[in-house]
A and B are shown apart, each in its own frame.
Chain A
Amino acid sequence: MAAARSPRGRRVTSAPRPLPLPARSPRVRCGAMRPLTEAETRAVFEKLGRYIGENIQLLVDRPDGTYCFRLHRDRVYYLSEKLLKVATSIPRDNLVSLGTCFGKFTKTQKFRLSVTALDFLAPYAKYKVWVKPGSEQSFLYGNHVLKSGLGRITENTAQYQGVVVYSMADVPLGFGVAAKSTQECRKVDPMAIVVFHQADVGEYVRNEDTLT
């Protein structure tokens, strides 16, 4: 940087040029980890409630420890208090994930549940769907469940009710939305969709790099 000279011949150095900042990811809106606001909590609970109903309070109020939800880079994480205290010591740019990611908030502030929440949805699910062994793989590839692949379904499932999908061996495969109520499932033809696919454990392999 050139040093200018004042009329008296004294060196006058100008202010130093600002250092080039490291490149940041473009969509970091609020980088800090923070608790959910009232509206965000409501959105998350509404979404969770579609699958597990009033069992959410078993998630919120656990006998074996204090667990909480935290928002980090638009993703909602569920973690214990102990883990949270440890996570506060990691710089926010380096922090990728903490605890269990339940889902993320989209650009328009809608909450999308992801497959990583399955471990918490499966034990508390109210409405379940069992899939025949033949069409398990089809579901794990991301396709909807057809009537021909439907093994069992919980009684009085309403239409468009959130359901958790299991294999016949009671292994949770993912979750989705019931396309038909239980009564209609009995009457409909074998090629009709009965469960809309939303998330499955195959995503762990398919979307390996985008899951946190």
Chain B
Amino acid sequence: MSSLSLWISSSVAVTARSESDHRLRLLSSSSATIATSPALHFCCLRTEALKLGAKSNRWKVVAAAVAPQNGSASDEFDYNLVIIGAGVGGHGAALHAAEKGWKTAIIEGDVVGGTCVNRGCVPSKALLAVSGRMRELQDEHHMKAFGLQVAAAGYDRQGVADHANNLASKIRSNLTNSLKGLGVDILEGVGTILGPQKVKYGKVGSSGNVITAKDIIIATGSVPFVPKGVEVDGKTVITSDQALKLEFVPDWIAIVGSGYIGLEFSDVYTALGSEVTFVEALDQLMPGFDPEIGKLAQRVLINPRKIDYYTGVFASKITPAKDGKPVIIDLIDAKTKEPKDTLEVDAALIATGRAPFTKGLGLENIRVETQRGFVPVDEHMQVIDVDGKLVPHVYCIGDANGKMMLAHAASAQGISVVEQISGKGNVVNHLSIPAACFTHPEISMVGLTEPQAREKAEKEGFEVSVAKTSFKANTKALAENEGEGLAKLIYRPDNGEILGVHIFGLHAADLIHEASNAIALGTRIQDIKFAVHAHPTLSEVLDELFKSAKVGRTGSLDPEIKSSPILHWLKSTPLVQVWHLLLSKFST
């Protein structure tokens, strides 16, 4: 088997080379790197990446093992770096700082792990894992198609809730251990900046301990945003904080906000038997998603389920259930503010986004004013004061700066700040940070949406093309009976730059990284399209996607016609026939 595959790969090299040579003749805009490396395309990919990396001063991976003890701070300061907030952002920054040998402390006023681990991404994934299975087991048609017979599926609410809770504790202890293992000091209490390079921590009201640090990172995150007029009682009117505890499964729940939090919860609740009513202030559901993806998602995730929705309305007043009355939601028109309707439901989940948690940070001591609660920062995440000047040694990452409210974005910003402090100017490319919504099927995206790309193109004067592939043609997806899905690539046909990729389909959240890495490394379509994907896997959806993009194609030089003689030649080559034969054997 292994000798066989070796033999095959050598044949690939031969054919691939001839193909690339052929391609060069066709594409006038091919870069010099390809021409000089006639071997495999991986080489081009890597050279390109390194070249770009050097240009933008990307950090290098620290390969050497790092001693678990903390580095020593200079005599002037207690610590090299103090991070306020031990969420995913703070954790990422602390780990990276510790790897650099810095003496690092992290201040946490609540529990290690922050929102993501305790009240966000992590427990919600546990609930979604359950809802995905429930949905599958309840789908008689789906099961029948597999030839499976399943008796009525049921669930134990407490068991589901425990799963979510256990997962959160496990991840929390992993996080704590990783910090301790690297020698990061975990300081308990609320952190307040007293002045330049000086931080106080301790229980609210107590005098607290004062420490000094060369640099300070604010990573205090966010809390659920509750619009005014909404009374959260934690039982029938709840935010994601309470919903994740799954204390009860209402028959009918209204979800205010149809962003990714609302969508994920609609997936959970409908799978557990609730009916859902969405209340969305904008004119269409799922704002923020690429419109085409949103539309398809609505067809799959909303329309066939026990969900209805109101768009273009605000929930001006939400009263929790009491005195034998249901939860009452007053709806007003989002534009005219006229009363529109009243909903009577069993529960309401407020999923209207998140608000930064920056109170009590002592920002006034360094002359910084928040903007709608967010800490203003520059592209290096360095904090900006009232006069628009950079505050030395103070950075803010994650939800608290509001640049991109995602756990992994916070972590990336944290690492970038550590790089920045160590003198390696670093800027996070937010357009390369993927985002995902873990519904069934999942939605994922990176970069620009089509309207954003078109707007940018108009401004900067370039052309935009869109390529799409469907999950319906993917063997693995069909084997799973999950052919519903679409992948969409938005790119520049002139130079092959990837502007955005959006996926809706089975395991979309895992598939997006090929695209996000390509954007991060600056890989162009004409290069990535030669990367090989294992067959049969879902990753072939992206393979197809990149291959269906038409880069550098001009009217005068039509590759369709010119390539066909080569194609015929290739088809008749015995080597290729053997190759096909072998592959068909492996894939079955």
- Answer yes or no: are A and B bound together in one complex: no
Which residues of A are interface residues toward B (Cβ below 8 A)?
none
Which residues of B are interface residues toward A (Cβ below 8 A)?
none
